[in-house]
Amino acid sequence: MTVNQALLPTRNGGQILVQQLCNHGARRVFLVPGESYLPCIDALYDHQAELQAIVCRQESGAAYMAEAHGKLTGEPGICFVTRGPGATNASIGVHTAFQDSTPLILFIGQVGNDFCEREAFQEIDYRRMFGQMAKWVAQIDRTERIPEFIARAFSVATSGRPGPVVLALPEDTLWGTAQVADLPRYQRVIARPAAQEIEQLRERLEAARKPFLLLGGSGWTPPALAQLRGFAEQFDLPVGVSWRRLECFDQRHPNFAGHVGWGMTPELRQCVREADLLLAVGARLNEPTTEGYTLVECPQPRQQLIHVHPDPNELGRVFQATQGICASTVGFAEAVAELRPQRPPPWRQSTRAAHDHYLRSLQPLSSPSAMSLDQAACHVAAVLPADSCITVGAGNYALYPHRYRRFGGIGSSLAPTLGSMGYGLPAAIAAKLEDRQRTVVCYAGDGCFQMNMQELGVAMQYRLGIVVLVFNNGMWGTIRAHQEREFPERTIALSFDNPDFAHLVEAYRGHGEVVTDNRQFEDAFARALAFSEKEQLPALIEIRYDPDGIAPGETLSAIRARALQRQAG
């Protein structure tokens, strides 16, 4: 049906754009206000019932929150920042969304078209800036084309391998007016495997002696996870999750074998290495998961590899698979939901053994400190409700919750596979905004936390009762471990003085405590949970511990000793 343009309302670009966001189902936008997109900010005023505007303190925090929202919901996280410095600050969220395959749309204010190519105030060519870290980068130069660009942005961000889209908004586009029709909500395309591909998979699986199912990637839904769980049960497969994709399988399930990648147990490493068939669903099989492309060798794996991924460009890009299947996680899960083995799987004993090894790994390892991070992580895992969410940024401290917590599906974990610091607090804020009834705990190193600690202001302003655990060892711990391994006894440029984190959170109307041993921690954690739930404000526990305890079962002194012995020949 042709729309009579004369009957359409005249709106400015900001009004048209925000209406499209509502039409496509957006419920929340994260922003740091800027004069370069004032018409969009003004348009938000008229949509407060449909679209919640979250005012952030710095653009990296806003972009991280939008990325975490995309992980939680499967819908594009929406972020608005101003041009130039705002865009550069937000770029870390775009890079995270790209490597984590998270749907995200970043809107950036831009100089007017009449000023372009003059290096006007804060002008940047965003196509060049974001070209290699986004699925699509564009600039909307005509007001009447805004609906077209927004519809495409939602489709691109969620199709195939999900990822970020960046749209620049020239001032004349936003201030300009047009009579243009709105477009309906986008439709996500779900790629499904062919019937013969599933039959080939079944034949290869039943011919195997020791298969292993590895789940990762993005785009999962609760029904898809349930279908994959049923598939794993029917074929009695041991199941692992790829690095920092802990939410992809219920780890309380008797088929769960562990978290595959950096920091995995020797038993799990051996299980994957000795598998004769590796069925990888959704995972890119990146460097951390494959331990530098050695656990799964590149380009020709020692295992038969059946690689299921929604992006055809990813299949064969790094690994030459025995069978590549181009399908989304949802489409593949639907296809194997009714698949049944033709004979009882002969690897049942191996699956039970893998799970038993996993259960033994949940026992806390020894620690050189009265404040054992292993015991603390076990305590948190034991007392948190099953549907709680744990967020982390980057650092060795994240190995503790990821080893000892049994994650339970979508929303139970938010962790950047990119390994970017400063992610944990913004992610915790996004999780609490999405579900205020869910308990949310952020693990953060003292360095990691200070990269975005200003976002405590968001938790204060929107009354978000999150709990933050700050691990204070006074140094960049992960890099210190690398330095001791490569250049033992030559430590430099890795330590720093910290503020009193417990007093800091009090400035944000929150609750803070400092602990130095596990008995103190258990009582303090109970008080933090109670305060955050009652007051709906952030609670923070600063954990001071012996920096020698650098990772579960590992010390800096042992790393140094091995390095010195190696140097001595």
Tell whether pTM > 0.85: yes
Residue 314 belongs to a domain: yes
Q: Which two tokens stand for residue 54?
A: 């979250």
Q: Supply the CATH number for residue 234's domain.
A: 3.40.50.1220
Would you say residue 365 has pLDDT above 90? Answer: yes
pLDDT tens per residue across span 391-438: 999 999 999 999 999 999 999 999 999 989 999 999 999 999 999 999
Q: Are β-strands 389-391 and 440-445 bridged in parallel, bridged antiparallel, or unpaired?
A: parallel
Beta bridge partners of 470: 444, 542
Q: State pLDDT tens for residues 146-194.
A: 999 999 999 999 999 999 999 999 999 999 999 999 999 999 989 999 9
Domain boundary among 311, 344, 360: 360
Domain for residue 185, yes or no? Answer: no
Instruction: Answer yes or no: is 183 within a domain.
Output: no
Predicted confidence at residue 116, as pLDDT, reads 67
Domain limits at 158? 5-178
The distance between the two most distant Cα atoms of the chain, rounded to a whole number of Å, is 84
Residues 117-133, mean pLDDT to the nearest whole number? 80
Q: Are residues 32 and 121 in the same domain?
A: yes
Q: Give residues with Cβ within 8 angstroms of 382, minimum separation 6.
A: none
Q: Are residues 366 and 236 in the same domain?
A: no
Q: Note whether 164 and 202 are same-domain residues.
A: no
- Are residues 398 and 326 located together in one domain of the fold? no
What's the pLDDT at 111? 75
**Residue 339, in any domain of the structure:** yes
Q: What is the pLDDT of residues 496-554, one digit of tens each?
A: 899 999 999 999 999 999 999 999 999 999 999 999 999 999 999 999 999 999 999 99
Task: Compute CA distances 121 → 80, 261, 276, whole Å.
Answer: 18, 45, 59
Q: Which one, of 154, 142, 168, 14, lies nearest residue 82 by Cα?
A: 168
Say whether both 514 and 528 belong to one domain.
Answer: yes
Burial 105-128 (b: 16+ CB within 10 A, else e): bbbbbbbbeeeeeeeeebbbebee
Pick from 150-154, 316-320, 367-371, 439-443: least confident: 367-371
pLDDT tens digits, 43-59: 999 999 999 999 999 99
340 and 479 housed in the same domain: no
Count up the domains in the chain and report the number.
3
The verdict on residue 186 lying in a domain is no
Q: Is residue 259 part of a domain?
A: yes
Helices (H), 491-555: 501-506, 518-535
Q: Residue 74: give its domain's CATH number.
A: 3.40.50.970
Q: How confident is the model at residue 569 (pLDDT cuts 50, 70, 90)?
A: confident
pLDDT digit string (tens) for 10-39? 999 999 999 999 999 999 999 999 999 999
Cα(283)–Cα(301) distance, rounded to whole angstroms? Answer: 15
